[in-house]
Structure 1
Amino acid sequence: MNAKKEAQTIQGTKQEFLKIFREMCYARNAWQVWEDLISATACSLANSTDPDKTNVQYKEREREYAQCIKRLGGVDKPAKCFAIMVEALERDPEQDFLGELYMELNLGNHWKGQFFTPYHICDFMAKITEGDIDGEIEKRGFISIFDPACGAGATLIAAANNAKKAKHNFQNYILFVGQDIDRIVGMMCYIQLSLLGCAGYICIGNTLTNPMEGHVLFPQEKEGQEFWYMPMFRMEVWSLRRMFHCIESMSAQTKKKEEKLEKYYMFFDFKKEETQWEKM
């Protein structure tokens, strides 16, 4: 009963989050606590929707989650922080909740050039670069939006919100892809986009020296990269889209082989060869 009452009183504010967060910092510094909190949250989200409980990544995330929760002193306070994140983005999706907290706590890494673009600027950029979404969806079936230095996801969040305002079903027709060199920051982006119901994935890795490869629906994880797939990307609509893409690719390959064979036959004179065989 008390837990239910407490859940009802959560307002989703930064003040609530910071109060609980600072309680976890009594014996450790803010960066250590933030790292464990974000890691535990990301691992929990990823494993809750991973259909394959036997894969290596699933087991590694389970182990990482358990270690983080142990260092955080139990699951109660991290669970409250997660509830606040959910409520904050539910009440006001047009914000970079974790990114703003990260900068407010002075956790930004200046060696990696971390300075998160304010959300209102990201919103403006999303408006002026939107393009013909309807036309692209009609032509390709979906569109993808990629941020090569995604940070906590403000630019991608703004793109999702603007698509929503334009009455686009971004969950079914827009694929959100981000990459960042910083693992914790990339996880922050993953958490926020997942909670907002976006479909896509985040790649942890250096965009300049180790860019993503493969088709946008089938990214290839390389050495030095780590992929985090959003829950919505595992939904049926995207699973079917990947399946249809495979079928289309197989059909295209078959057609290409047939065309190559036709070109060969164009230079093969059957009558001449038959005559030569008859003489023999």
Structure 2
Amino acid sequence: MANPQHNNPFKTRFIEVLDSLDRYKDRDQHFRNFCTLSYCALAKQTACSQEEADSLEERYMSVVHSYKNKDDVRKMPELMTLTLTALQQGGCDFLGELATELEILDKQNGQFFTPYHVATMMSKILLPDIPQTIEQDGFFSASDPAAGAGCMLLSIADQVEAQGFDLSETLSVEAIELNRTTYHMLFVQLALRGIPAHVVNGNSLTQEIFEEAYTPISKYFVNTHGCLFKQHAKNRTIHTHTDNPQLNLFGF
């Protein structure tokens, strides 16, 4: 795992690209559009039906069509590459930190993101004996009912990798987030970090579910273990199931 990234050049370049886009849209809108485009492109890979895949494609194209200058759209892959590179180095909540710096959080509803060093400290305290758990069960699962952009889950992934384990085989995650844009950020970060995850746009208190998706690496995890979560993990905050036989993510 790399050291935490302070003032990293990926953030600087990301903001430079945002500022070079359509002047008729502000940073906030460009950032949200990037998150939507990235989410649709990644979530489509594990869509549970053709209807769901078509809906994601429609949303993707709706954002594309909102840009008169298609050169702006062609810059979005660079933002994806910057995000991917930063996340793969570990030690950061890249999109969450960017959202904080760009001041696009939903402050009226009390939204704020936990500093990464705080999440790291908390994850070290809360995590079980990782080697013992993995030796006993083959993998372990983490659940966050108010995941934000995924800071805590990303810090857990850092701890797993630091002990020499492959995330794609030893960690599965369920993450729930109410805010739609933050849900997109959450999914994109977990997907690009290579974490097998079921990500829910929903309300943990009311158990409402508005949308859900699986990160692409989840397919590999399921092929390895036969499920994404073990049967004894039924006490998750929101219980969701899928009838899709190709995924069969849950062991119950």
1:227 lines up with 2:212 in the alignment: yes
Does 1:241 pair with 2:225? Answer: yes
2:56 aligned with 1:61: yes
Say if 2:200 and 2:209, in contact at 8 Å, map to a contact too: no
1:206 counterpart = 2:211:
no
SS at match of 2:203: coil
Higher relative contact order (CA 8 A, sep 6+): 2
- Residue 76 of structure 1 aligns with an amino acid whose one-letter code is R
Runs of 5+ in structure 2 lacking a partner?
A: 1-7, 231-252
Q: Structure 2 matches for 1:111-190, cutoff 5 A?
A: 111-190=108-187
| Higher alpha-carbon deviation: 147-156 or 76-85 | 76-85
SS of residue matched to 2:127: coil
In the alignment, which residue of structure 2 is the partner of 1:50? Answer: 46
RMSD of Structure 2 on Structure 1 (CA): 2.3
* Preserved contact between residue 44 and residue 65 of structure 1 (Cα < 8 Å): yes
For 1:150 and 1:25, the matched residues in 2 are separated by: 31
Q: Distance in 2 between matches of 1:67 and 1:163?
A: 38
Residue 87 of structure 1 pairs with residue 85 of structure 2:
yes
Q: Give the partner amino acid of 2:101.
A: E
CA distance in 1, matches of 2:142, 2:223: 18
Distance 2:229 2:146 in 1: 27
| Deviates further, 166-175 or 23-32 | 23-32
Q: CA deviation at 1:242?
A: 3.1
8 Å Cα contact 2:46/2:215 also seen in 1: no
Map of 2:30 onto structure 1: 33
Distance 1:234 1:12 in 2: 33
Q: Is the 8 A contact 1:36 1:71 kept in 2?
A: no
1:101 aligns with 2:98: yes
How far, CA to CA, are the matches of 1:114 and 1:44 in structure 2?
A: 26
Q: How many residues align?
A: 221
Structure 2 Cα separation of the partners of residues 169 and 42 of structure 1:
24
1:15 to 12, 15, 30: 12
- Aligned-pair identity in percent equals 27
Amino acid at match of 2:38: T
Whichever residue aligns with residue 228 of structure 1, its letter is: A
Counterpart residue identity of residue 168, structure 1: F
The SS at the match of 1:167 is coil
TM-aligned CA distance change 1:107 to 1:55, over 3 Å: same
How far apart, CA to CA, are the structure 2 residues paired with 1:40 and 1:133? 35
Counterpart AA for 1:85: T
Q: Deviations over 1:125-154 (max 9, x none)?
A: 111112122333333332110111111111
TM-score by length of 1: 0.72
Asked if the contact 2:47–2:53 (Cα under 8 Å) also holds between the matched residues in 1, the reply is no
In the superposition, the TM-score normalised over structure 2's length comes to: 0.80
CA distance in 2 between partners of 1:127 and 1:20 (Å) = 35
Aligned CA distance change for structure 1 residues 245 and 124 (closer, same or farther; 3 Å): closer
**Which aligned segments of 4 or more residues in structure 1 are displaced greater than 4 angstroms?**
243-246
- State the distance in 1 between where 2:209 and 2:158 align: 32
Q: 1:63: Cα distance to partner?
A: 0.5
Deviation at 1:69, TM superposition (A): 1.6
| CA distance in 1: counterparts of 2:228 and 2:84, whole angstroms | 33
Once residues 16 and 228 of structure 2 are traced to their aligned partners in structure 1, the CA distance between those partners, rounded to angstroms, is 48
Say which one has the larger Rg. Answer: 1
Structure 1 CA distance, aligned partners of 2:228 and 2:64? 40
